[in-house]
Structure 1
Amino acid sequence: MKNISNILAVSFKLILKNKRRNIFTMIGIIIGIAAVITIMSLGNGFKKTAADEFSDSGAGKNSAIISFMTSSGEGAKENPFTQQDIDMIKQKNGVSDAKIKENDDTGYSAKMTNAQKKGDISILKKKTMESPEKGKGFDADDNELRKKVVTVDDKIAKDVFNKDAIGKTLYIDGQGFKVVGIANDTMNQNVVNMPSKTFEQYMIGLSQNNPSLQLTIAGDADKKEVANKVADELNKKGSGVGKGQYSYNDTEAMMKGINKVFDGITYFVAAVAGISLFIAGIGVMNVMYISVTERTEEIAIRRAFGAKARDIELQFLIESVVLCVIGGLIGLILGILIAAGVDAVTPDYIQSVVSLSSVLIAVGVSMLIGIVFGWIPARAAAKKELIDIIK
């Protein structure tokens, strides 16, 4: 053990002695490891984001989602999951709870009942809407006070109020709401934004455009089997029978499939980036050969004092490993910083997750490069006999 510590100390001294040459040698390792860590961190981030999204949509271990699709493929005009349906489902074996699943990004179907214009609209619940394109919108105080205010989009403003909507009254299912702003939705038209607490007080009974039922499965029950039985029961006795189809989609299985795709893409791209590590290994081998040539006298002196071939080999092999591990650690830190920078620049789209496996891969690959590409020069140094050096 003492001999190993001495070799490590000597290795660090020799690396510092030839700083410029060794820094250039490590650049390839630094770039390769940094690229691999960045790619793996972002890949893990994508997986975590996907897992969170699927978890929200019912991919949890004890959670299942029953969806409903109308025969025409359009959104359901009436809620296909009535309280009677929910009470019936709660009685099924394996179901511990059932409730309508709400998504804050999905609108609620309602009727616009102004005299000038009648038609379907979609209501989005919002805590605040303080920066509409026109008007003042509504804030948290308006939400807490449950004020009957809304923002509308350009289409409603044009069709109902002839583009002069601010301050006017929009009637929804016969109830009047003051228009306090114009705010457009990039994906949909006829969209109304309403304070969430106002919605909960005045818009009772509305359903989202694509309603679904969230089941909580008992711990000892088979989720897939229970969910399929619930879907079959609803297709026989549910309130939406004849208007569409109830179905269960195994989102957990979908999530596992997507994770496999993410893993495949991540490892493939990381392997491509790892090509630079092979090139870096060639550079390490070259530098170690130069080091062996430069230190022929040192080898001769050590052999004269009784050093064995394996001692010489171990010395150069450890120097190669130390050189590569230093480069690997620098690359690891650089990769984490790059991934964190990408995360900071695009927080809504990309996040990075540095896993323990990534760190172990970085250190392990660095050591492997040092061993594989340092072994041949180390063997060459070990084969130098004292008598041959003197000649």
Structure 2
Amino acid sequence: MKNLSNIIAISFKSILKNKRRNIFTMIGIIIGIAAVITIMSLGNGFKQTASEQFEDTGAGKDSATVNYMKSDGEGAKENPFSQQDIDIAKQVNGVTDAKIKETEDQGYSAKMTNAQKKGDISILKKKEMTRPEKGDGFNEDDNELNKKVVTVDDKIAKDVFNNEPIGKTLYIDDQGFKVVGIVNDAMNPSAVNMPANTFDRYMGYLTQDYPSLQLSLTDDADKKEVADKVAKALNKKGSGAGEGSYTYTDMEAFMKNINKVFDGITYFVAAVAGISLFIAGIGVMNVMYISVTERTEEIAIRRAFGAKGRDIEIQFLVESVVLCVIGGIIGLIIGILVASLVDAVTPEYIKSAVSLSSVLIAVGVSTLIGIVFGWIPARSASKKELIDIIK
């Protein structure tokens, strides 16, 4: 161990002796490792985000979701999950609890009943809306106090209030709500944002277009089997059985397939980026050959003092590995910083997640490059005999 630490110390001195040349040699490794880490971090981030979203739809281990779809494919006008339906689900063996599941990004269908304009709107429940495009919006205090305030989009502002909605009253199912801001949502045209508690108090009878039933299961339950039994029971006795059907989709299996696709894409792109590491390895080999040529006198002196060929080989091999590992660590840090920067710039769209496997791959690949591409020059150095050098 003492001899190895001495060899590593000598390796650092040798690398520092030719700083400029070795820095340029490491650039290829740094770029390659940084690219691989960035891609894998973003790929892992996508997987985590997808997993969280799928778990929210019932892909968790101890939960399942039963959906309802009308025969014509349109949204349900009345809630197909009554208290009676919930009781039916709870009676199935393996189900510990059942409740109507709300999806945050899905609106509740309602009727706008202003005298100037009548029509369908979509209400979105929010705890706060503090950054509207116009107006003041509403905050958590408004939500706690059940204030009858809403924000509208440009379409409603134009059709109902002639583009001057702030302070006016929007009637929803003949109930008045004060307009406190304008907020547009590309995914939900004719959208109205309302404090969640206000909605629960005044609009609690409304249902989402595509409601679902969230099932909580026992630890030993077969999720697919139990959920299929619930769907079958509801298709016989459910309140919406005559107009549509209740179904269970195994989101966990779907999630696993999605993760496999993510892994395949991530590793393929990372492998393409890793081609630069092969080129960097050639550069390391070239530099080590130059180092062997320049240090012929050093090799001769060590031979004269009794150093064996294996000692010389290990010395140059360790130098190659140290050079590559330093480049790999720098590339790892840069890759993490780049992934974090992308995450910070686009927090709503792209997430990054650095895993332990990514770190191990970075260090492992760097070490492997040092061994593979440093072995031939090291072997060449070990074959130099003192008598041949003197000649």
Distance apart, 1:5 and its partner CA: 1.5
Shifted more, 175-184 versus 261-270: the winner is: 175-184
Shifted more, 277-286 versus 3-12: the winner is: 3-12
Q: What letter is aligned with 1:171?
A: Y
Cα contact 2:88–2:233 (8 A) shared by 1: no
Q: What letter is aligned with 2:35?
A: A
The corresponding residue for 1:335 is: 335
Cα contact 2:112–2:170 (8 A) shared by 1: yes
Q: Deviations over 1:158-188 (max 9, x none)?
A: 4444555444433322322233333332223
| 1:225-374 alignment, distance < 5 Å | 225-374=225-374
Q: What letter is aligned with 1:261?
A: V
Percent identity over the alignment? 80
The corresponding residue for 1:19 is: 19
| 1:103-252 alignment, distance < 5 Å | 103-252=103-252
Distance apart, 1:353 and its partner CA: 0.9
The corresponding residue for 2:9 is: 9
Q: Deviations over 1:224-275 (max 9, x none)?
A: 1111111111111111112112111111111111111111111111111111
Cα contact 2:113–2:174 (8 A) shared by 1: yes
In structure 2, do the counterparts of structure 1 residues 167 and 297 end up closer, same or farther at CA, with 3 Å as the change threshold? Answer: closer
Q: What letter is aligned with 1:64?
A: A
C-alpha separation in 2, matches of 1:94 and 1:72 = 32
Distance apart, 1:344 and its partner CA: 1.2
Task: Structure 2: give runs of 5+ residues left out of the alignment.
Answer: none
User: 1:53 and 2:38 equivalent?
Assistant: no
Q: SS at the partner of 2:98?
A: strand
Q: SS at the partner of 1:121?
A: strand
Cα contact 2:28–2:280 (8 A) shared by 1: yes
Cα contact 2:88–2:234 (8 A) shared by 1: no
Q: What letter is aligned with 1:108?
A: Y
Distance apart, 1:144 and its partner CA: 2.0
C-alpha separation in 1, matches of 2:295 and 2:20 = 18
C-alpha separation in 2, matches of 1:6 and 1:238 = 78
Q: Deviations over 1:8-47 (max 9, x none)?
A: 1111111111111111111111111111111111111111
Distance apart, 1:125 and its partner CA: 1.2
Distance apart, 1:300 and its partner CA: 1.6
C-alpha separation in 2, matches of 1:166 and 1:211 = 32
Q: What letter is aligned with 2:171?
A: Y
Q: Number of paired residues?
A: 391
C-alpha separation in 1, matches of 2:358 and 2:38 = 9
Task: Structure 1: give runs of 5+ residues left out of the alignment.
Answer: none
Shifted more, 119-128 versus 174-183: the winner is: 174-183
The corresponding residue for 1:32 is: 32
C-alpha separation in 1, matches of 2:4 and 2:130 = 67
In structure 2, do the counterparts of structure 1 residues 180 and 19 end up closer, same or farther at CA, with 3 Å as the change threshold? Answer: closer
Shifted more, 97-106 versus 188-197: the winner is: 188-197
C-alpha separation in 1, matches of 2:155 and 2:316 = 76
In structure 2, do the counterparts of structure 1 residues 153 and 326 end up closer, same or farther at CA, with 3 Å as the change threshold? Answer: closer
Distance apart, 1:199 and its partner CA: 0.9
Q: Deviations over 1:59-114 (max 9, x none)?
A: 11111111111111111111111111001111110101110111222111223334
Q: SS at the partner of 1:228?
A: helix
What is the TM-score with the length of structure 1 in the denominator? Answer: 0.95
C-alpha separation in 1, matches of 2:266 and 2:18 = 36
Q: SS at the partner of 1:194?
A: strand
C-alpha separation in 2, matches of 1:6 and 1:134 = 69
Cα contact 2:27–2:327 (8 A) shared by 1: yes
Q: Deviations over 1:188-225 (max 9, x none)?
A: 33322211111111112211111111111111110011
Cα contact 2:157–2:163 (8 A) shared by 1: yes
Q: What letter is aligned with 2:36?
A: V
In structure 2, do the counterparts of structure 1 residues 32 and 131 end up closer, same or farther at CA, with 3 Å as the change threshold? Answer: closer
C-alpha separation in 2, matches of 1:156 and 1:99 = 33
In structure 2, do the counterparts of structure 1 residues 164 and 371 end up closer, same or farther at CA, with 3 Å as the change threshold? Answer: closer
Q: Deviations over 1:254-298 (max 9, x none)?
A: 111111111111111111111111111111111111111111122
In structure 2, do the counterparts of structure 1 residues 333 and 158 end up closer, same or farther at CA, with 3 Å as the change threshold? Answer: closer
